[in-house]
Every structure is written in structure tokens, then in C-alpha cells.
A and B are shown apart, each in its own frame.
Chain A
Amino acid sequence: MAMNYTAKTRRPDNTAFKQQRLPAWQPILTAGTVLPIFFIIGLIFIPIGIGIFVTSNNIREIEIDYTGTEPSSPCNKCLSPDVTPCFCTINFTLEKSFEGNVFMYYGLSNFYQNHRRYVKSRDDSQLNGDSSALLNPSKECEPYRRNEDKPIAPCGAIANSMFNDTLELFLIGNDSYPIPIALKKKGIAWWTDKNVKFRNPPGGDNLEERFKGTTKPVNWLKPVYMLDSDPDNNGFINEDFIVWMRTAALPTFRKLYRLIERKSDLHPTLPAGRYSLNVTYNYPVHYFDGRKRMILSTISWMGGKNPFLGIAYIAVGSISFLLGVVLLVINHKYRNSSNTADITI
């Protein structure tokens, strides 16, 4: 009977959990206990920072602004909309040779590719090769959805505003006879984008046929199936197009334009010397105070040139180290106060 009773009792279980006596790590943050953490952070961050900084410094990068707003610029003539097409050539000099693969970017400034309505203005299904979406693009594309009663392919503001300058690079040798530099068009977009996310609409062999019934974006000069001659780089899977469609996060951005692959270990990809940049100037940026740049850059394991990260690491590491020293002093001076023996009210 007593047993029965005990079973019925409302006495709470005397378990560590219920009685809130779970073994716990109870960090007491005092100078003494956390001292090592600061030193460790300092010791780890500073080398990392130095490493990043050095790597970043080793990256060769050159930016050529060809907006042409300065009157002296060769591209100044292209600012007026009358000159079409407009060609201009900008000469520049590489002080040091670029080793390894060199990436060629175009950079735009003050271009708000991250504007909410702009970002929305696309149809991923259409770009993914959905034939119904091809002929009936998403409403998000308005007002770049239809033109003259034909669906626009690719629809939307992003596609409509695609960068359409053509950049060519020439090495000007001693004999002032420019040698064209091989620019690789493929391999500039993410693999997944090219192979999964972007697809041409299904249909016959001819790309034009597949895009039948659609019209080109208003601002485009050529329809989408004429972006490139290479069938593997045409239509929606044109890599320039894919790169453009990946909207930039910030108003000043660069986008990969071409690859300059290194030829051999012996010769630098781009030897130091004079170069000329031939621009087919189509893309107007000056009336929103935008800038256009051509950027050549080598890359490292951490991508492009970026001094910030390295400096930040070094700074944080140093601060941490300094704090460690301060805490050491504090700990030495106030050791007693953190000791229970000397608690005072």
C-alpha cells in the first residue's frame, strides 16, 4: 500500500534536468580567464592578415576608364548619340607583366543593377528554356514583356539593358603593329548557370527557329539567337548574357568579360608593354553619371585584388593583441578583486 501511494505522489522527479541542476559550463568572463583568447586571436589573425595582404598585393590589376567624358579621351566622340557605330581606341601601358590567367572585366559605376524593380524584371522560366514562358513571359517583365505584340525574349529590364560594348585588346609591339590578344569568350559564367539555370528553348536545330515568334529586347541591336556564332554560346546560354543576368550587388561593379589564358609557363600571359583597347562604343552611361572601365586582373586563391581583408585582419589581430596586453595588466592589478576571497560589497 505504501508502494502504491508513493507511485501516486505528485512529488516532482528529482532529476538534474527538472531541478535545473544540469551540468553546465559556466564561463566567468574575467581578464584572467579570457586572456589567452585575445592572444590567440591576435596570433592567428595577424599572420592570416599578412598572408592575405601579400597575396592581394601580388595580384596585378589595371583599370582603364573609357567612358569618354573627359574631352581628351578618344572615346569622347562617342558620347553623342549620332555617331553609330562608334569606335575608339585607348592606349595603355602595362608596367609589369601579368602572369597566369588574366581576367578581363568591364566595370560599370553608378549603375543600380540592384534596384528592386530592376532585379525583379526577368523571367527565370523563360531563361530556363520553358517554351510556354518563352511566348508568354512573366508579368514581372513589364514593361519589357512584349514589343509590337510579340513576346520579348529575353524579357525584362535586365536583359534589355545588357552591356553591349565590344572590347578588343591589342599588344603594341616594337614595330607598332598591334598583335591581337586572344580573348576567350567561354568559361566566364558559372558552370551551373550555363548548364542548369540557363537553357535555350527546345525545338529544331536552328536557334532562330526555336526563338520563333519572339522579338528582341528594345535596346538590343541583334536578337538573342545572334549573340554569337558559336551555337554553344548563343541564345540564352551566351555567357556574356548569363554574366549580365547575374545582377550585381552594388552600384559599382565589374563583370567578367573575357579570359586571357596563359600560353606557357615561360612567357607571361600579358608581358609588360604597350597595349591598345579597341572599343565599340554602344553602351551609354554618361547621362546617369556612370563610368565604364576595362579591367585586367590576375587572380589568386582569394579572387581579385582586395587589400581590405588583409588590412582588416591585421588590424583586428593587433587590437586583440593589444587588448590582451591591457587585460594582462588589469589581471595583474585587480587579480584580487576577481578572487572570491576578497569580495566586498
Chain B
Amino acid sequence: MTEALQWARYHWRRLIRGATRDDDSGPYNYSSLLACGRKSSQTPKLSGRHRIVVPHIQPFKDEYEKFSGAYVNNRIRTTKYTLLNFVPRNLFEQFHRKEKKYIDRCWKDVTVGDFIRLSCNEVIPADMVLLFSTDPDGICHIETSGLDGESNLKQRQVVRGYAEQDSEVDPEKFSSRIECESPNNDLSRFRGFLEHSNKERVGLSKENLLLRGCTIRNTEAVVGIVVYAGHETKAMLNNSGPRYKRSKLERRANTDVLWCVMLLVIMCLTGAVGHGIWLSRYEKMHFFNVPEPDGHIISPLLAGFYMFWTMIILLQVLIPISLYVSIEIVKLGQIYFIQSDVDFYNEKMDSIVQCRALNIAEDLGQIQYLFSDKTGTLTENKMVFRRCSVAGFDYCHEENARRLESYQEAVSEDEDFIDTVSGSLSNMAKPRAPSCRTVHNGPLGNKPSNHLAGSSFTLGSGEGASEVPHSRQAAFSSPIETDVVPDTRLLDKFSQITPRLFMPLDETIQNPPMETLYIIDFFIALAICNTVVVSAPNQPRQKIRHPSLGGLPIKSLEEIKSLFQRWSVRRSSSPSLNSGKEPSSGVPNAFVSRLPLFSRMKPASPVEEEVSQVCESPQCSSSSACCTETEKQHGDAGLLNGKAESLPGQPLACNLCYEAESPDEAALVYAARAYQCTLRSRTPEQVMVDFAALGPLTFQLLHILPFDSVRKRMSVVVRHPLSNQVVVYTKGADSVIMELLSVASPDGASLEKQQMIVREKTQKHLDDYAKQGLRTLCIAKKVMSDTEYAEWLRNHFLAETSIDNREELLLESAMRLENKLTLLGATGIEDRLQEGVPESIEALHKAGIKIWMLTGDKQETAVNIAYACKLLEPDDKLFILNTQSKDACGMLMSTILKELQKKTQALPEQVSLSEDLLQPPVPRDSGLRAGLIITGKTLEFALQESLQKQFLELTSWCQAVVCCRATPLQKSEVVKLVRSHLQVMTLAIGDGANDVSMIQVADIGIGVSGQEGMQAVMASDFAVSQFKHLSKLLLVHGHWCYTRLSNMILYFFYKNVAYVNLLFWYQFFCGFSGTSMTDYWVLIFFNLLFTSAPPVIYGVLEKDVSAETLMQLPELYRSGQKSEAYLPHTFWITLLDAFYQSLVCFFVPYFTYQGSDTDIFAFGNPLNTAALFIVLLHLVIESKSLTWIHLLVIIGSILSYFLFAIVFGAMCVTCNPPSNPYWIMQEHMLDPVFYLVCILTTSIALLPRFVYRVLQGSLFPSPILRAKHFDRLTPEERTKALKKWRGAGKMNQVTSKYANQSAGKSGRRPMPGPSAVFAMKSASSCAIEQGNLSLCETALDQGYSETKAFEMAGPSKGKES
């Protein structure tokens, strides 16, 4: 239903032709099929686990016509139309009148086997295999924002073999068969093959699949064949619907509602029994025991039974139905205030906190465990190229580091400049170099105004990036990431690069080139070993297309020449422009020009180029013709371009924009660009790179082995244009790459020795990088012979076309390719910590929240980030779980546990896990702080059932847990484990698609709307823009929401019980006959009108402690964690109070009016009035802050009550029989006793609670009450008081620390770390020596001396390398 509606909203898409056949005729309406019957045909047959899609035309024609007589004729007659335009046109004519209806139906009638033709900006209606694209390269761009929220374009490719076709696929001639896997919900996988009539098979992958829900962009038209339709589409299968989360508080309240039901039943039973007994005494008394209408008297038993139900009707208010309504309203109000908090506003992204779940805001105040992703959540996920190591030499890029630090001023200078330049350039056809900044904004089609505003905001915010609001892509290319200042030493080496290096086939000139070649390869790898999409800024979303240089090998010089002429024509528009702009062109990167090296660079490169030309020309060989020509053209262009060409700060390709799937890739490409190795364009067949000294190089792209998390690497196979060899460039995690390097035999050639040296040095650098918290990647290459490649390719195709165990086969195939690599170097990319993360984590720690960091990153990086963000303190004891087998894992854990227990046996308060959880973490802090590092592999063992308990026990000892190398599934499993086994409230925060499962599993999922798309946000309950917002969200809003709502719920229970009990007490005096002493309207309105608004206002606006104090004293959060505001016994105390108050409220008037001549309603009136005052004043006592809104509502409630009573009492003479309060209120208002009774009742009823609150306030104030005093202080007093508060806390800790030390002699030693670590080592090393157990890789304890650390790290190092 919803599906149909949803589809109906979209524009229609044309189904080019169709037969209409349905194997299961059930669900489809044939008449509607006829209405839009233009499907070719389809035969969904499920053969085993696979699906075969065969587009039949002839075989089903008869059947088809049977169903769709007239229309088929129509189709057949109108042969003058092409098949493609016939349908739309005809349909338009045919169904012009009821077009809308037709659209509605058509969307759902798409069936498997249909051919679908879609134009640009249309939404894909079903999963289909792409058969044709108007794009010459057979590429189709799709936007998947409807699916995962990511707005960057993704490329999809036409099935191989179809890309070469010039014309559109003719469905009539389509005779192939598609076999693919059965429908599943895996968005990132599609396996199948297309079998041509001649049995030739072509593999299909997700690159060929257009998923329903995506939008076609930048491609004029595409044609595809439907393989999954309707509910079988991956989009629909993924749509499991939102998980309904119910907050802990609400669950708690629900049980208490059940108690209320119990109470009600008890009260009603009392009434029933009481009535029965009463009746048996007065059975014969017809005076007041009115007989039934027919005159007989029912037996006491039956009357008691009836009375039970009468009482239920009378007392049903006890079950707070209105509570749920009020809770919803309160939650809405709370959400409103959370969203209005200006502190959550992110200027750069113009975003506020998004509350996507409305019903769990109060859970924010009870979080005990926080699971955080690292990348993009704690860090900015702005990858900044920091260092690299090439051929064993480390290049620190100090200037770059300095640039990053001094970024702010630079930006401010820049922006002014850009504003002027970009304006002047906006109308130019191809603005080249002038401003890099415009690049970042252009591709997104943002209005200039956005850009302007974005940059001006940045200035104000003082943060180093000039991002554009609304744009994610821009974030990838903010100057801080894109501008890399080259390292001087590396540049020096660059100067040695000449094309000549490639001339003699390698090893003829031995002396200089080795390192230089490494450098060249390194940067080429950086530039091309990725899946970055290049686009130009002023043509949004369009890739730059250079005329194809043709396939390899290049055939003739003429051809090349002509090609280059064409190419240079394209480029030549820029030089004039540039020269015109020259004065300003040097300025854009002010910080760049400040650096001295560029003045040196300027003369250097032109000279170099000329030199290269000179020396190049004579030796032209066919293989290097391309290069030479390139150089010539390039040189010409370069001359015209003048300085623009050679200025590193303003490279030629500055206006290119790179759209990368991961920011790392972009960072590397930008880094390569800084060294004038610029990625210019990328098509499925080739990659063009501008290499400063070598000129433009076109690499034929033979194959891409994309990145996956199992291999942890990606490779590109290219044909090197200079050497014409097949080269594999691989980029990946160091641990993986290092194992794949060619094994150097010790007696090998010098080259191999050199390799060894490079490798060792690089490893050292890598460790270095990791220690600095940089993300490391290794770059390696491999040269293959053509025959080797051909053989591999053959096997690979086999793997590609298989369906069943394709992954394994592909993995194997990749393994075959990616081996015997030559290490080129390594890169270190910095992922900067987000602003305010350490402070937030510290605060959350203080708030008693255990924080786990779950990351896919490597251990060293993760640990460093953990230190950097204060997740781990320097003097924390660190345990590292990194084992290769389950037994070892269990043993190691028990060893650590034993160690910990031994350590804390001295501490009296440590007993067991369960008790430990309930304990305030304060003594724990003093006892010992421990951190646990666990790797993905080990985590797998730890999550197994047998070790779960041990693992949890271990983690409960630790302040922080870091899980590195964790897969998304593991992340969610960890959360699930902790949540279900420890019965704690968990929060998961993450920003990427890999965090989605974790976010969904946790009690509260928070998405960081950052760089990696919207998937996490889509799955989350709350979405923030930065991690630091979490602290206020939890500490302030969470605390408020929780206390507010829990107090409100308790108050609601109280209110209902207190009021209903008045009726109940009256039953004792009216023979349990179910009489109410109040007229029905007042009874109804009392809850509905007179006392409904105050609790809601109380629930929305109550503020026990101010936001500032809550932020300054995160300890206050613990009350929420322990559910202090609403414990089970709180409910019963509240109920007791309600009972007391109702007793008072009943019996004070009772004794006052006892024996007098009051009538029923005159007796009820003071009861009601007093109850109203009691209920409202109770709220005032409970409120910690009262604003004018509270006042207004309370006074409004009182006034509305009196107004109603007076008006109703005056107007209603005979209405509402028999309960008729005529003129009672008026009488009472003139009666002083009425007032006296009300005042007395109210005071007696509220006295105990008031006294209790007062005594609590002065004798045993809770931390929150004490913190409340802070709000009253002046700022100076406040800081003083805060200091005292903290001092007191510390004092406590210190004293307990001393106590511990004196108590346990074997307890703490000055250096906490070593003992534990050593103990572990001895224990497990003796146990499993050869078991491939690497334990305690490093002990990152600061108390640990360097030498010891080295000793420890030694063995494991050896193992790794």
C-alpha cells in the first residue's frame, strides 16, 4: 500500500516494451497490466538457489495477446514508431485522461524480465542489470541518497560486452539469459552472469546492478533488464522497518501501571466483598436498599459481583491512561527543547541535533556504556596527508605540519582573495588555475552565496576548514586536506626525475635511479591506485573527458599528434587566462608562498623541462614516442602557462575535484597532486596522470581489485605507458602488505638486499607513524609479464563468472595477483581528533559512563587515538588481548583476571561482577584504572559463548575498552552482548555505514552526520554533527529528560491514586455501593482539565540543576544511571504518600462534617477542592524551579476548577441527574468552614512530604541538591565552590587510596603496569609457546621504562615481520 503511494509520487519512467506474462497470476491484476501493457516478457523461474531471467518475446506472444487484445494490436500496428518511443507516446495518447491512475499501477506492475529505460533524474523502480548507457564508456552515474543517504555519485557499468555497442540494446534481439542469485538484502553484493545465446558467459557484479530507489544522474538514458522487482528488490528487503525502542523508564513505568491495575483489582474486590457483607445485613431494608425495577432484591453474592464491576468503572482513573498521553506530550516538549538548543548548532554544516526517535529521550540520562566508533566520530575523518616514507627514507613534511598548525590565518587571507577571483571567473568556460577554493564548491552546484557564508562562518568559528554548508563532498576537499606542502627533501629528489629514466630498459643505468624510480612509482601509485572520480568544478557532476588516447599500444605518431592537438586545444584556453591573472595567481595559498622553497622551485622546473626535451628528442623510440610528444605539447603549454605550470601551490589541475569514496583516497590523491603528479581523469579503461617531469601519462587500466575489508588492500593493474609493462600497484594495510612482499633470500642480488633494507626501514617508519596516531598505508608494486598477466586474467574471469563461491574465488584470484610485491613506501595520514573530544570523553568518564571504542583501525593507531582523546590515561594499566586461538584467549583472560583480583583483594569492596555493577565507580577509580585493548580476531573468540562471561567480567574491571580491527558485525555483537548480559543501558555512536548495525542494536543509537554519508544518521535515534555535542546531550538533556519524565510519571501515579482513593474511602461510608460524592463531570474533568496541564509543564520545564552546573559536574549524571529518580521503592513511597494524603483529604472533611446535615455533593465539594490544592501544591514542592509558566498553569488550573464549579453549579438545575451539584459551590464559597477545611486538609496532607524534603535538603542532601546551590552563586564563588567540590572528591579518593595501600601489602606498587604485564607473559608464554600466541605486544604504560617496553615488543615484532 505504502509502496504504491510512494511510487505514485514519482514521475513515471518508460518501460520500453513489454509483454505481459506472469507465472503466478494471483497478485497481479491483468486489466491493469493491459492498461500499461508494454512489457516485453518475463519468466521468473527459480531454479534451485538461482534465478534465471529470460526475456522471452515470441514464446509468450500468444498468451500475451490473449490477455491484452486491443492494446497489443495497437502496438503491432504502429510500427512507424520505434520500439522505444512507441510506448510512451502511445500510452500518453491512450491514457491521457487517466494518466494518474495509470502511473499508480505501472509502478507496481514492473516484473522480472522487463526492460526498462530510464532517463536522467529518474528513480529506478526495480533492481536491474544495466545493459546500456548513453555514456560512451558505458557508465551510468547513480545517486544512492534514497538508499543510504550518500549524495555523492556512484558509477555503475554496463555489462561487459554491451558497452561497446553504439546503439541501444534492442530488446527484441536480446537473447541472452541472466542467471543470478536469489533475492537477498545485501546491498553491496550481486553475483550472477549473463549467458549469451552462444553460451558465452559474462560475469555480473554489483557494478552492473542498478538498485531500486537510486536516481539516475548525469546520464542521459539507460536501459536495463529487471532481475528483482517489488518486494524482492534489495531496497525492500533491507527495509526491515524501524525497531521500536521503548525507553527503560517507560518499561519501568509499565510495570508500575500493572501494579496500579493490581491495586485497582484489590480495591474493587474490597468493594465487592464489603458490599456483599453490608447487603447481607440490610437485605430486607427497602428504605435505602432499593430493589430491582421488578421489585425483587438481588442476593448479596450477586450484588457483590455486580459491585466489583461498578467499582472498576468508578475507580478506573487509577489506571493512568492519561499518563501515556501526557508522556507523549512531555516527550515532544523535551525533544523540542533538545532541538532548540543552540549549543548543538553547527555553523559549518548548518545543522542542529536531529531527534529521529521521539520516545527515548529520557534514556539519554541513563547511559552506562558508550560504544563509539573512532573514525569520523572521535576524529574529524578529514584525512590530512602528514608523512610518507619512500624507499626507506622518511619525509617528515614539517612544512606541511606547520601549515596545518598555522592554518587559520592563512584561511582568512585566502578567502578575501577568492571572493574576488571566483566572481570574475565564474563566467569563463574553463577557469583553470586561479583559485583552488572555487573547486571545492563548484562541483556541488552550490550557490556562491553558500560558499561565501560558509567561509565567513569559518572565520568566526576559528576552525581550520572552510567547508561549505550543505555539502559533504566539499568536506573531502577542504583546503586543509587538499593543500599539501611538499617536503623539501623529497622535492629535491623530484628534481632528478627525467623521462630518461625510463628510456633504457631499466637496469642499464644503475647508479642514480633506484630511489628516483621508487619515488615515481610511489606517486603514480598514490594517484591511480584508487577509485577517485575526477570532476570539474564548473560542470557539476561531470567528469572531465579527454579524448581517448586509444588503446595500447599507440599505433602511429600521427594519431598521437592529432590527439594531443585536440587535447592542447582544450587546454589552451587557460594559458591566456592565467597570464592575465598572473599577479594574483601566486597569492591563493598565502602560506605556501611564504615558504622559501618555492622561490627556489620556480626557476627549477622549467629548466628541467627544457632539458628533458632536449635530451629526449633524439632518442625517440616507438615506445617512448608518446612521452616525447607529450613533453613537447606539454612544454608548449607550459611555456604559455608560464609559472602556473610550475608553481606547486597553484598546479595546473587545481580546478579538478576528486570525489572519493573514502577520504583517505582523496588525501593521497591530493598529496600526489602536491608533487605535481596530478590525477587528471579516470575512465573505466584508462587513467590519466600529469606527472610534472614526465608529462601526462595515460595508463591503460586493465583491472581494479577493489578494496575489501578481508584483504584490507586494493590493487590496480595498469599498463605502464613508459615501460609498457603490466604493473600492479597495491595499496593496503601495512600488516597485510608486508606479508605479501617478495621474499628476499639473504643471498639474493643487491636489489633484493636493498629491498630488505627498504622494508625494514619502512617498517620502522610505520611503527613510528602509528605511534603518532597516523593511519598508515603501504604502497607496493609488482611488475608482471604479459604472459603472467594473461594467465591470471583467465583465471580471474572464471572467478568472476561463478556464482556460488564467488567471493572465495575472487579472493583467491586476488591473492594470486597480489604477491611478490615490491615495497615502495608508506604513507601516514592524520585523522585529526574532533574539537572537544578529549574534554567530552573526560566528562563522560566522570559521569560514570564506560566508554568502549570500537574501530576497524589497527591497534597502534587505535591506542594512540585512545590516549589522545583521553579515553586512556597515561597511568592506566593496559591489557592487550591479541591471541590467535580461543584457548589462548581464555587463558590470557583468566590470567589477567587473576592478576586483577589479586591486586584488588586488598580492596574490601570488590566482590563479584553483579555487585560491582551496582557500586558507584568511585572506589574503582581509586583502586586501579585499567584499559583493555582487544583485537578483532581475539574479539571473535571472546564473543563466543564460553568466554563471554569471562570477557565481560574482565571488561567490567576496565575503565575503557578499545576494540580494534573490529568488523561491523562484531561491533553490533559487542553491543548486544553488553546490553543483554549486563542489563545496562548502552549508547552507540558512529558515523559510517559500518556503524549502522551497532547503532541499531544499542539502546540509543547516535549518528554523527559527518563525512561518510547518511547511513548512520538514517539508522540512528539522534543525530549530532560532532562528538562533543554528546556530552551536553547526555549530561544535560539526558539528565533533564530523565529526571523530568520520571518525576512526572511518579507524580502522575501519585495524583491518580490520591484522587481515586478519596472515592474509595467514601465507599466505607456508603455501604460499598459505588456512590461517588462528586458529580461525574468534576470527576472526569479533575484529571482531564484541572490537573492535566501542570504535570505536563512540570515534565517539560522542570530543571533540577542548571545546564552549566551539570556540565561542570558530570558526576551528577550518575543519579540517572542508577535510576535514582525512579526506583521501584520510589513508586511505593509515592503510593504510600498518595494513600496518606487521600486519607487526610477524606477524613478531615469527614470529621468536620460528621453528623451534620451536609448532603453528598456538599460533602464532596471540599474534598475536591482540597484535593486540587493538595495535588497542585505537591507539584510545587516537588518542583525545583518555577517559572512564570508554572505559575500561570497552576493558577489557571485553580481558576478553571472554580469557574467550572460555579458555572456548572449555577446553570445545572435539573441536568445531569441524579448527581446534581446545584448551587453547592456558591453556598460553600460563603461558608468560612469550607475555607478552613480546605486549608487544614491541604496543610496536613502536604506536611510530611514538605518536612521530608526540608530534612533531606539540610541533613542528607543528594549530590544534585547540593549542586543546586551552585546555581545561586556568583561566578567567582562558583569557581571556588567547584574547586572545593572537586577537592573533596579527590580527598576521598586519596584517602581510600591510602587505605587500600595500607590494607594490602602486595597491592599497588609504584609502577602498576609491569607487574601485571609480566605476570601475564610468564603465564601464557609457558603455556603456549609455539601456539602462535602473541601476547602483550606492547605495554603502553607510561610508568614503563623504555627498555622494558622494547624487551616486550621484541618478540612480537619478530613474529610480525
Contact = CB atoms under 8 A, between A and B. Distances in A.
B775 interface: no
Interface in B1242-1289: 1243-1244, 1247, 1250-1251, 1253-1259, 1261, 1263, 1265-1266, 1268-1273, 1277, 1281, 1284-1285, 1288-1289
Nearest to B1071: A112
A254 interface: yes
User: What band does the interface of chain B fall in when counting residues whose beta carbon is under 8 Å from A?
Assistant: 35 or more
Interface string A318-345: 0110010001001100100111111111
B1285 A345 contact: yes
A231 to B, nearest CB: 22
B972 interface: no
Quick one: which of A115, A161, A288, A319 has the most chain B CB within 10 A?
A115
B1160 A119 contact: yes
Contacts of A181: none
A313 B292 contact: no
A246 interface: yes
Interface in A92-145: 105, 107, 111-125, 127-128, 130, 138-140, 142-145
Contacts of B1152: 306, 308-309
Given A249-B1153, A312-B1148, A197 B290 contact: no
Contacts of A148: none
Interface stretch (B719-727, B739-747, B1213-1221): B1213-1221
Contacts of B452: 1-2, 5
Nearest to B1226: A192
Contacts of B352: 10-12
B1236 A19 contact: no
Interface stretch (A26-34, A171-179, A205-213, A259-267): A26-34
B1147 to A, nearest CB: 10
A140 B1184 CA distance: 50
Given A12-B342, A19-B340, A124 B1217 contact: yes
Interface stretch (B280-288, B854-862, B895-903): B280-288
B1236 A115 contact: no
Given A10-B351, A24-B1186, A341-B1281, A115 B288 contact: yes
B1077 interface: yes
Given A125-B1214, A254-B1157, A312-B1148, A30 B1220 contact: no
Given A19-B340, A122-B1218, A125-B1214, A115 B1156 contact: no
Nearest to A293: B1155
B1258 A338 contact: yes
A304 interface: yes
A111 B1223 CA distance: 25
Contacts of B1292: 344-345
B1047 to A, nearest CB: 15
Given A114-B1069, A330-B1259, A18 B288 contact: no
A306 B1154 CA distance: 9
Given A1-B449, A116-B1070, A250 B1150 contact: yes
A339 B1285 CA distance: 12
Nearest to B351: A10
Contacts of B1184: 26-27
User: What band does the interface of chain A fall in when counting residues whose beta carbon is under 8 Å from B?
Assistant: 35 or more
B1355 interface: no
B82 interface: no
B552 interface: no
Interface in B1031-1066: 1040
A134 to B, nearest CB: 13
Given A5-B453, A12-B341, A340-B1277, A34 B1254 contact: yes
B337 interface: yes
B339 A246 contact: no
Given A24-B1185, A115-B1073, A117-B1073, A2 B1214 contact: no
A263 to B, nearest CB: 25
Contact of A115 (B289, B342, B1187, B1251): B289
A330 B1255 contact: yes
Nearest to B1164: A249
Nearest to B1227: A190
B1247 to A, nearest CB: 7
A315 to B, nearest CB: 9
Interface in A165-207: 190, 192-193, 196-197
B1074 A143 contact: no
Contact of A248 (B1101, B1157, B1232): B1157
Nearest to A344: B1288
B1240 interface: yes
A113 B1077 CA distance: 12
B1157 A343 contact: no
A127 to B, nearest CB: 8
B1254 A12 contact: no
B291 interface: yes
Quick one: which of B294, B1070, B1184, B1268 has the most chain A CB within 10 A?
B1070
Contacts of A192: 1222-1223, 1226
Given A114-B1160, A116-B1075, A337 B1258 contact: yes
A280 interface: no
A29 B1253 contact: yes
A216 interface: no
B155 interface: no
A70 interface: no
A63 B1257 CA distance: 51
A114 to B, nearest CB: 4
Given A114-B1160, A250-B1163, A302-B1233, A309 B1259 contact: no
A302 B1277 contact: no
B450 interface: yes
A328 to B, nearest CB: 11
A327 B1259 CA distance: 10
A316 interface: yes
A296 interface: no
Contacts of B1219: 119
A165 B1183 CA distance: 57
A121 B1217 CA distance: 10
B1159 A157 contact: no
Interface string B997-1039: 0000000000000000000000000000000000000000000
A345 B1153 contact: no
Contact of B1189 (A22, A121, A246, A247): A22
A336 B1075 CA distance: 54
A122 B1159 contact: no
B670 to A, nearest CB: 28
16 contacts: A1-B448, A19-B340, A22-B1188, A28-B1272, A29-B1257, A30-B1254, A45-B1243, A115-B1071, A116-B1075, A288-B282, A302-B1232, A304-B1156, A320-B1247, A330-B1258, A343-B1285, A345-B1292
Interface of B: 281-282, 284-295, 310, 337, 339-342, 345, 347, 350-352, 448-450, 452-453, 456, 922, 1040, 1069-1071, 1073-1075, 1077, 1101, 1103, 1107, 1115, 1148, 1150-1160, 1162-1164, 1181, 1183-1189, 1213-1214, 1217-1220, 1222-1223, 1226-1227, 1231-1233, 1236-1237, 1240, 1243-1244, 1247, 1250-1251, 1253-1259, 1261, 1263, 1265-1266, 1268-1273, 1277, 1281, 1284-1285, 1288-1289, 1292
Interface of A: 1-2, 4-6, 9-14, 18-20, 22-32, 34, 41, 45, 48, 52, 105, 107, 111-125, 127-128, 130, 138-140, 142-145, 157, 161, 190, 192-193, 196-197, 243, 246-256, 287-288, 301-304, 306, 308-309, 312-313, 316, 319-320, 323, 327, 330-331, 334, 337-345
Given A11-B350, A124-B1218, A249-B1153, 11 more contacts: A1-B449, A2-B453, A10-B350, A14-B342, A20-B337, A107-B1155, A115-B1071, A157-B290, A250-B1163, A308-B1152, A340-B1270
- Lowest 7 CB-CB distances: which A-B pairs, in order? A249-B1163, A142-B293, A5-B453, A24-B1185, A31-B1258, A18-B340, A116-B1073
